[in-house]
Chains A and B, each alone.
Chain A
Amino acid sequence: MKKLFSLSVLLLLASVAFSSLIKDIVSSYASQVIEGHRIVVEQEKGSTTKIRYENILRNGYNEIVKIVAPQQFEWSSIGEKTYIVFGNKMRLSPATIVDAEQTFIKDVSKASTIVSTSTTYYHGVKSLKLVIKSRNATYTAMILEPSLIIGYLKIDHKKGSITIDYDWIKAIPLSYFNAVIEKFKIIKKPPSSMEIYLWKLVSKLDNVSITSISIRDISVVIVSGKTNLNKIIVAYVFQSGQDISTSDLTAQFKSKGFTALSIKKDDVEMVLITKMKLDQLREWINEVFK
């Protein structure tokens, strides 16, 4: 009985110490101003591995992420809003972009348990190696000492894993971060309905591609990709009010034996074609635009 008591006291003490460590990491993250280069590897069972090389400029939860390879793309998260960077302009994104590192910070600050801690060296810097479990994932992190900056993070979740590996990171003055931000013109105009509906399609399709075509004064965007049931869907999307009729276009596909359906959302017209049955297509459309 006494043994059990002292064991539970020990466990209690341990968990108090652990949670204060998490608190320290979380509060430190919110006040860090850093510049870094990192490699992000995302693996999911049954899909191709994604690898990106990114340059990060971060002040707490605000950050500018510049993907350098394999495809150049720059985005930012400022005041919990996602922007897409076009040259020296930032435009509100039709979708939130999630940085797994920030998911980690938010997730462990809610409810999590430290499974193990040890001291190690990461790229020659003395670090804390932590394994933290939450309801959603198991995190393996290398936290640099004494700055508590994240040098490495591996997230094992139900569907696969994400690894974030900084090959270079340093603390920078806040004035530098602010100077960079000030160079951008932040456009707070909401995304167009065309962008919003295109995003709905893109987000629900795998191996997706977007093609813009214009013939005479008509411009049409074609989105094509695979549904989660591995069926190909091609969507013609265009601004209404142009000299193109959805019923004439739909008739083209029907006459060739394909399933086609046209829908209108706000000022956006869409014609979706597939080899699936009409009911299945209708079900998919309902799922995408619910």
Chain B
Amino acid sequence: MMECEDYREKFVHEELTEKEQSEFKEHLKNCAECRAFVKNYNQMREFIKLRTEFRASNILKNKIVSRVKFKNATKRIFRVALPTAALIVLGTFYTMSSFSTKDVMYEKVALSGIKMLNSNPATEVNSQSNLDYLVKIKYASDQF
């Protein structure tokens, strides 16, 4: 059997023999972790290729960077959309109902936390806050 961690790295570097390569492709069908690895690595490679090919031209470089930013921004929109929508609903509730009490506020504030408690936490860097650099610190640091 294959030790996937060793094989997948060799696979993306094209260091496997033909036989190993076809074996690994079979393995990819059943191993989500390896599929994610190969996908991420190829995306990154693509990014590097773009960068090195177009390094000479600043205009193009800017385009590439803005594309990355755009990608992040679109992802973010989806992430922010839900909680923000919840807040808007919450906000209108306050302005519209004259009999809103503090208890209601607590209940509403509590609701977002309970929702998080009942859902599966994100598997990638995922934040809707200007404090998200705290999460990025973790991502940037190589502890072992």
Contact = CB atoms under 8 A, between A and B. Distances in A.
Contact of A162 (B41, B68, B127, B142): B142
A208 B121 CA distance: 7
A213 to B, nearest CB: 6
A248 B52 contact: no
Contacts of A275: 117
Interface in B40-65: 40-41, 44, 47-48, 51-52, 65
Interface string A208-236: 11111101100011101110000010101
Given A71-B125, A222-B113, A98 B143 contact: yes
Contacts of A45: 5
Interface in B98-144: 102-103, 105-110, 112-114, 116-117, 121-144
Main secondary structure of the interface of B (DSSP, over half): helix
A40 B36 contact: no
B37 interface: yes
A100 B124 CA distance: 21
Interface stretch (A6-14, A109-117, A249-257, A282-290): A249-257
B121 A225 contact: yes
Interface size class for chain B?
35 or more
Contacts of B47: 53, 68-69
A220 B83 contact: no
Interface string B77-101: 0000001000100110010000000
Interface size class for chain A?
35 or more
Main secondary structure of the interface of A (DSSP, over half): strand
B139 A71 contact: yes
Interface of B: 5, 9, 33, 36-37, 40-41, 44, 47-48, 51-52, 65, 68-69, 72, 83, 87, 90-91, 94, 102-103, 105-110, 112-114, 116-117, 121-144
